[in-house]
């Protein structure tokens, strides 16, 4: 019996835990919100340039901050070790 070759035992483990997936979903939602805010509304007349719409605080400041925050949440979700 000592000469029998034993087969290795593989244990199936999940790469990410439930908390990781929740964080990933939250990061995707924050990213989507940031891109949605950056897109903004459209002008009623495409021939008229309205700097208030193009250079609004929402498009220039808030949306990029949300996008960066979304990427940071995604990085944290991937790097966080699952419990158990």
Query: For the segment 16-74, what is each residue's pLDDT rounded down to a tens digit?
Result: 999 999 999 999 999 999 999 998 767 777 788 878 878 888 899 999 999 999 999 99
Instruction: Tell me how far apart the alpha carbons of residues 24 and 15 are, in angstroms, rounded to a whole number.
Output: 13
What pTM value is reported for the model? 0.77
Q: What DSSP letter does each residue of 2-61 carry, written as one string? A: TTSPPPPPP----SS-HHHHHHHHHHHHHHHHHHHHHH-PPPSSTTS--HHHHT-HIIII
84: pLDDT strictly greater than 70: no
Exposed (0-12), middle (13-18) or buried (19+): which is 27, by Cβ within 10 Å?
Answer: buried
């Amino acid at each position: 019996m000592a000469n029998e070759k034993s087969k290795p035992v593989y244990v199936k483990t999940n790469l990410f835990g439930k908390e990781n997936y929740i964080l990933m979903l939250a990061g995707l939602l924050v990213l989507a919100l940031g891109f949605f805010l950056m897109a903004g509304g459209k002008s009623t007349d495409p021939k008229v340039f309205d700097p208030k719409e193009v250079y609004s605080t929402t498009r220039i400041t808030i949306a990029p901050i949300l996008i960066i925050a979304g990427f940071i949440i995604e990085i944290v979700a991937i790097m966080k070790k699952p419990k158990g």
